[in-house]
Structure 1
Amino acid sequence: MTKSIGVILVLAVVFFGYLIWENCRVIKDRYVIKHVVYVNGTRGKSSTTRLIDGGLRAAGLRVFCKTTGTLPMTINTNGVEKLIHRRGAANIREQLQILHKAAKEHADVLVIECMAVNTVYQNISQHRMVRADIGVITNVRLDHTDVMGETLPEIAEALSNTIPKAGILFTAEQEQFSVLEKNAQALGTQIFEVLPEESLTAIDWPENVALALAVCGQLGVNRETALFGMNTFYQRDPYALSFYRIGKGTLFINGLSINDAQSTRKVFETLQKKLGPGQGKFILLLNSRADRASRTIQMVELVRDLAPDGLWLLGSGRKLLNHTLPRRIPKDRMPEVHLYASAAKLDFSSLQPEDVIFAAGHIAMEGKKLMDRIREEGTPDVL
């Protein structure tokens, strides 16, 4: 019995000793890096992180960048992009490893995307790990409602966990700005609302570019240099919004990485203006996950709002989504529905050049397989 207690005490001493050592290393690593920019929000985190990286890099700053996105990636101070190979599920301790790598490379700036969804982990990742002095909250949308709250104000509160203390916060969020402002002021942080510029759409979504310009400006990089860097060094997320011609020339729009319905709807409306009135069929392809049942109602509402001619359901949540549709959409407005067990079974042969497929929902699992197939069989296109 005494021996067992002794072993437990030794293990406890080792454990707490390790925590103390780790905390000292975090403080030391953070001291080496002049600025840490922590990017959070519902949509556009990866793109905004990469845009900031490009703008700062053009000014000659040593930048280390990490995005979560569809694939977790780092871009080191030499501009080399590398995939993060994880053992098991994602863990926020990964952020400590990134901080250490950035410090070892003597980075001037670490630009890092928040990978936490749980509000407690968001708070820990900011205030006990990366300790950013500049925060970015891209926007507030209905997503991850099972852990972040079911209303926009609740989600704004959740995202506020990464607001730096006595620092700077930039956001393109307008509707929930007052919530973010209240929480920023409580931490002694200055908050700036950034407005999008439509003239910047050639690079990326205007909100993302405007946020990146604001951060670059805060760090002393002028607009011209920052824009040059974004055009030169900006490497898009490999699964970001993209366009292909498939089959007989049908336009395939990849919106799978957008995830939430509100942003998907906004993207579609923007693209619709560019495409003009269509003459062919509009097919909405939704990839859904059985473990994300909370998004089912949002997807049904998306179907109702976009009013496609045809609806193709893919992924492990396709049957649940198909079962929910008749309860929410009147029979006279119900599109023709097809269910597919896998991306390999999708049949594009009947589609015509004037038809359009808009893929949305989720990039994971069958979504990635679908994009692998589209890249192999299709031809990249632009709008």
Structure 2
Amino acid sequence: MTSILVEGTRGKSGAVEMIVSALEHKGASVVGKITGKETTILYRGKRIPIVRKRGLFFIDSENREVLRKYSHCDFKVFENQALSAYTMRAVHNIIKPDVVVIPNIRFEHQDRLGETIDEQAKSFAVNLRGAKALITAEKKERVLLILAKYCEKYGIRLIKTNIPCDVAPSMQSIYIANEVIKLVTGSGLEQSVIETLLNRQRRVISICRSKRYGIDYFTASKANDVESAADILRHLETLTDKTFCFLCYFRKDRSERTQAFAPFLRELAENRRVDKIFVAGHHLRALPKHTKITHTSNGETAIKHCKSKGVILVTAVNGVNDFMREVEADLV
């Protein structure tokens, strides 16, 4: 059984799903496990939820049970949430990956993996020992240098995924999966298959229309780091000539994230394509004061503004909270 472990900051679940789908397209027997909003097994085109019992549970026991149950598969593709240096190492010890996939490493203001981007990159790099190859789409030179240093130290092949600059962030998993397939099967996906996947993804990440409110909107609340949010804005600017209204929610338990977004919101407010920025949640005093930035306690204010001005609503910063869940569910 060839083991593939996907870790990093953004796009892990999507990469696992795409790799599993690509391997199945090649006729391989494969099992995947993602740990996004809902822990799920991917097997023979089916999504099988893992129902966790209330109270404490051990992720190592859960992973070992999946490995045991699907030991007949030729490939196993697991997501590593990497919540801390300890959990990252523990998952590596259980999965024992032949191939490690890191879509990207984005700076998160959480000291569990390091207080700087360099420290966080090293937290991933030191766990590469034992793998045969590392596939990454990371572009920051300082991060690549750290990954390359440890790949050389451990005798690991470093494969940099070549992704066109005009590709939307969520489409990158297609190119990453193709590199994985080439490595583990000897040949990549047919170009026609890649184009089909790209077209399918374009439909998924397009600007939507809310029939209920009669406004256009784009949900980007999963992009909860500055670099990802900036990538999405650049992508949106290529889709339309309209201007945007941002609705940003800041969580009580993520004060560092609020501080990290403060400079970005200032830049956003100076962007001619941005009409208004509504901010809600906690630690809002850390955010800059600007005529375009308005505090709100509900999403209805932003929706009414978009309807009256004819601008596109973009939800951003945090999606794991009742406020944003209700707003995004209400828009559909």
SS, match of residue 286 in structure 2: helix
2:202 maps to 1:245: no
Deviates more, 1:358-367 or 1:222-231: 222-231
Do structure 1's residue 374 and structure 2's residue 331 form an aligned pair? yes
RMSD between superposed Cα atoms in Å = 2.8
* Runs of 4+ with deviation above 4 angstroms: 88-91, 198-201, 229-232
How many angstroms does 1:168 deviate by? 0.8
Partners of 1:275 and 1:89 in 2: CA distance: 47
Distance 1:212 1:290 in 2: 36
- How far off its partner does 1:198 sit? 5.1
Unaligned runs of 5+ in 2: none
User: Which structure has the highest helix share of the two?
Assistant: 1
Tell me, in whole angstroms, the C-alpha distance in 2 between the residues paired with 1:89 and 1:291. 21
User: For residues 313-341 of structure 1, what are the alpha-carbon distances to aligned partners after superposition, in whole Å with 9 as ceiling and x for unaligned?
Assistant: 33xxx2312x112xxx3x5x442413225
CA contact (8 A) 1:197 1:206 kept: no
Paired with 2:195 and 2:121, the residues of 1 have a C-alpha distance of 28
Q: For residues 296-317 of structure 1, give each alpha carbon's deviation from its aligned partner in whole angstroms, at most 9, with x where no partner exists.
A: 1122222112214322233xxx
Change beyond 3 A, Cα 1:302–1:115: same
Counterparts of 1:339-358 in structure 2 under 5 Å?
339-340=296-297, 348-352=303-307, 354-358=310-314
Change (3 A) 1:229 1:84: farther
Instruction: State the one-letter code of the partner of 1:92.
Output: I
- 8 Å Cα contact 1:136-1:170 kept in structure 2: yes
* Residue from 66, 71, 78 that aligns with 1:98: 66
Residue in 2 that maps onto 1:179? 146
Count matched residues: 319
| 1:148 counterpart (113, 128, 132) | 113
8 Å contact from structure 1 (residues 131, 164) kept in 2: no
What is the one-letter code of the residue matched to 1:337? T
Shift of 1:369: 2.7
Largest Rg, 1 or 2: 1
What runs of 5+ residues in structure 1 fail to find an aligned partner?
Answer: 1-33, 376-383
Matches within 5 A, 1:168-317: 168-174=133-139, 175=141, 176-197=143-164, 205-220=170-185, 222-225=187-190, 228=193, 231=196, 243-246=207-210, 247-276=212-241, 278=242, 282-307=244-269, 308-314=274-280
TM-score (norm 2): 0.86
1:37 aligned counterpart, secondary structure: strand
8 Å contact 1:54–1:229 — kept in the other structure? no
- Relative distance call for 1:358 and 1:258 in structure 2 (3 A) is same
Which letter does structure 2 place at the counterpart of 1:348? I
Question: How far apart, CA to CA, are the structure 2 residues paired with 1:229 and 1:90?
Answer: 39
Amino acid of the structure 2 residue aligned with 1:58: H
Alignment match, 2:30: 63
Q: SS at the partner of 1:197?
A: coil
Report Cα offsets for 1:265-320 as digits up to 9, x if no partner: 111112112213x3x5x321112211111101122222112214322233xxx231
| Deviation at residue 162 of structure 1 after TM alignment | 4.0
Identical aligned pairs, as a percentage? Answer: 23
Q: TM-score, normalised by structure 1?
A: 0.75
Distance in 2 separating the partners of 1:124 and 1:227: 39
Spell out, residue by residue over 1:202-239, the C-alpha distance to the aligned partner (whole angstroms, 9 max, x if none): xx74532221111000111533348638947x998xxx
Aligned-partner Cα distance in 1 for 2:238–2:145: 31
Task: Work out the CA distance in 1 between the residues paired with 2:7 and 2:200.
Answer: 19
Cα contact 1:92–1:115 (8 A) shared by 2: no
